[in-house]
């Protein structure tokens, strides 16, 4: 999901100037969905359950649950499940609670690319598109189809015991390698044709089990299709989820939207509230996350509500836990609650007819419509405003605020001390500093952060703060990937800083 995403410093995006929409027509979105990415680091279900009332209060009515290896597969697929995957009964109880609170449950399973969780097993490696790469499954092998049919069957059967399954997301993003093996190449199809044929198979499989379920797919594999060629790629009974996590629209957005409007019945938009600000990021960049949501809402308002060019079915706030199966953990869910709430408040404004009239007055809009609501939601008092500059969690009393405060220090320390080493790790002259630029100019800030770090026993502090949200294995991984690497890098950098 991230190869195409770029992590840019926010510049103000020049939106079309409008006036007179203080009571604008409402942005109509049937679904506001939060993505729960469980990749190998699932939050405790009790914690996920505790978030339901907050999400509901802020207008969420759907959950896109990306199970990967956390789904309790059984029978012939038993070896797909991670040893600490959710137990059937517990997952069932959580989903029942969510459905009873009015949430639409949309399971997400990868069925083409990003299939490392399955294809890494020797038992399934013969299904790979390219023998050395566990990312993609070959769609031309009969056994691949049987394997995917079984996955889909178990997912649908489990969810239908709880509520009718209206949607299932089958992934299909960033499929690479694709169309490489002899079987696929003999089909003499373009990558997009191959994908379309594969999605037809997936839709048929889903409909045999559940005729009323609509299939969702990510859009990115169709971005390079020329508009004149998309008539061969029309997918009925399939809806596309157009994802872009950057802070300003990609220049091809209009061309793509025009294609998708012709190829699919409905278009969904996917933003990101976490997991799109760097592979090793500790906290979401509130600034980038806000502009990402703002530009998409402005787009939907302009082209869905006002010009009625496209029908936007819903918005999915994605929250990635890792960039892929083997990547380190990025921002964890409890550290991303402020980002989630800020952007849900923004969506609620647009869906109730309060939109940004003029981007030159964005600060006024934020003061009037976002900041106070944020204070109220996160129990903050006398927080120095605005969140776009810095979010002062010390002034807030929401459940995860202490964690946020500690991780802010960790995040700042990363910016000072986490290094990008070149091939030779021992060559200190090759050290580069992430996000800091000129180290000398940042010396004073980094020294202050270093001194603050010295006062904290991070391991203990983090274990205490995370134990409400994650099992030990996840916490240990977090400490290993974030704190150990920080400590090691500090050890290396201290001589350079001449700190005793």
Residues engaged in binding Zn ion (CB under 5 A): 129, 138, 140, 181, 183-184
Coil/strand/helix, residue 114: coil
Q: Give the residue with the Cβ less far from Zn ion, 141 or 431.
A: 141
**Do 301 and 24 touch, CB atoms closer than 8 A?**
yes
Coil/strand/helix, residue 109: coil
The yes-or-no answer on residue 174 being catalytic is yes
Q: Give the residue with the Cβ less far from Zn ion, 129 or 219.
A: 129
- Count CB neighbours of 45 within 10 A: 16
Min dist CB 141 to Zn ion, Å, is: 7
Min dist CB 416 to Zn ion, Å, is: 47
**What residues does 31 pair with on adjacent strands?**
314
Residue 239 burial (10 A CB sphere; 0-12, 13-18, 19+): buried
Min dist CB 235 to Zn ion, Å, is: 20
**Do 223 and 252 touch, CB atoms closer than 8 A?**
yes
Q: Give the residue with the Cβ less far from Zn ion, 69 or 129.
A: 129
Q: Give the residue with the Cβ less far from Zn ion, 96 or 130.
A: 130
Q: Give the residue with the Cβ less far from Zn ion, 138 or 257.
A: 138
Residues with Cβ within 8 Å of 493's Cβ and at least 6 positions away in sequence, in order, are: 417, 419, 431
Number of H helices, E strands in the chain: 16, 12
Joined together, the tokens standing for residue 235 give 């997918």
Rounded Cα distance between 117 and 70, Å, is: 10
Of the residues 174, 192, 239, 400, only one is catalytic, namely 174
- 159-165, long-range: CB within 8 Å, 24+ apart, which pairs? 159/95, 159/105, 159/107, 160/210, 161/92, 162/92, 162/95, 162/96, 162/99, 162/105, 163/99, 163/105, 164/212, 165/105, 165/107, 165/210, 165/213
**Cα 366-1-271 angle, rounded to 5 deg:** 20
Alpha-helical regions (H) of 161-246: 182-186, 191-209
Q: Give the residue with the Cβ less far from Zn ion, 186 or 307.
A: 186
Min dist CB 186 to Zn ion, Å, is: 9
Min dist CB 190 to Zn ion, Å, is: 14
Rounded Cα distance between 149 and 36, Å, is: 23
φ, ψ of residue 125 to 5 degrees: the values are: -65, -20
96-126 as b/e: b if 16+ CB within 10 A? eebbeeebbbbbbbbbbbbbbbbbbeeebee
φ, ψ of residue 176 to 5 degrees: the values are: -155, 125
Q: Which residues are catalytic?
A: 174
């Amino acid at each position: 999901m991230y190869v195409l995403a770029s992590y840019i410093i926010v510049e103000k995006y020049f939106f079309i100037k409008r006036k007179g929409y203080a009571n604008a027509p409402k942005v109509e979105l049937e679904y506001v969905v939060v993505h729960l990415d469980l990749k190998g680091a699932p939050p405790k279900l009790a914690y996920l359950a505790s978030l339901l009332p907050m999400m509901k209060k802020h207008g969420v009515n759907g959950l896109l649950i990306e199970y990967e290896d956390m789904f309790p597969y059984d029978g012939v697929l038993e070896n797909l499940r991670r040893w600490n995957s959710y137990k059937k009964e517990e997952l069932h109880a959580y989903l029942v609670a969510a459905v009873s609170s009015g949430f639409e449950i949309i399971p997400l399973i990868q069925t083409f690319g990003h299939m490392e969780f399955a294809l890494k097993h020797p038992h399934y490696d013969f299904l790979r598109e390219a023998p050395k790469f566990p990312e993609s499954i070959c769609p031309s092998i009969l056994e691949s189809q049987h394997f995917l049919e079984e996955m889909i069957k178990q997912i649908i059967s489990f969810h239908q015991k709880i509520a009718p399954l209206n949607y299932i997301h089958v992934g299909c993003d960033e499929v690479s390698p694709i169309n490489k093996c002899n079987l696929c190449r003999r089909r003499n199809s373009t990558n997009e044709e191959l994908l379309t044929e594969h999605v037809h198979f997936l839709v048929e499989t889903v409909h045999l089990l559940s005729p009323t379920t609509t299939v969702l797919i990510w859009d990115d594999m169709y971005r390079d299709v020329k508009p004149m060629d998309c008539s061969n790629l029309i997918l009925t009974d399939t809806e596309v989820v157009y994802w872009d996590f950057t802070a300003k629209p990609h220049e091809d957005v209009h061309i793509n939207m025009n294609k998708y409007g012709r190829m699919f019945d409905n278009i969904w938009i996917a933003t990101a509230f976490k997991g799109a600000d760097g592979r090793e990021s500790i906290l979401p960049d509130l600034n980038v996350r806000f502009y990402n949501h703002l530009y998409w809402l402005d787009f939907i308002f302009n082209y869905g509500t006002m010009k009625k060019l496209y029908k936007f079915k819903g918005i999915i706030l994605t929250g990635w836990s890792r960039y892929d199966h083997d990547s380190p953990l990025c921002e964890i869910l409890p550290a991303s609650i402020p980002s989630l709430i800020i952007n849900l408040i923004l969506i609620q404004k647009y869906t109730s007819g309060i939109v940004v009239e003029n981007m030159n007055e964005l600060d006024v809009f934020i003061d009037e419509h976002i900041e106070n609501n944020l204070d109220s939601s996160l129990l903050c008092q006398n927080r120095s405003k605005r969140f776009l500059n810095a979010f002062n969690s010390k002034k807030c009393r929401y459940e995860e605020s202490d964690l946020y405060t500690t991780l802010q220090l960790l995040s700042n320390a990363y910016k000072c001390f986490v290094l990008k080493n070149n091939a030779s790790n021992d060559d200190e002259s090759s050290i580069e500093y992430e996000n800091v630029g000129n180290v000398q100019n940042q010396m004073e800030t980094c020294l202050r952060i270093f001194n603050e770090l010295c006062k904290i026993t991070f391991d203990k502090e983090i274990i205490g703060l995370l134990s409400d949200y994650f099992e030990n294995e996840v916490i240990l991984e977090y400490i290993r990937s974030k704190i150990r690497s920080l400590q090691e890098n500090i050890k290396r950098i201290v001589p350079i800083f001449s700190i005793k």
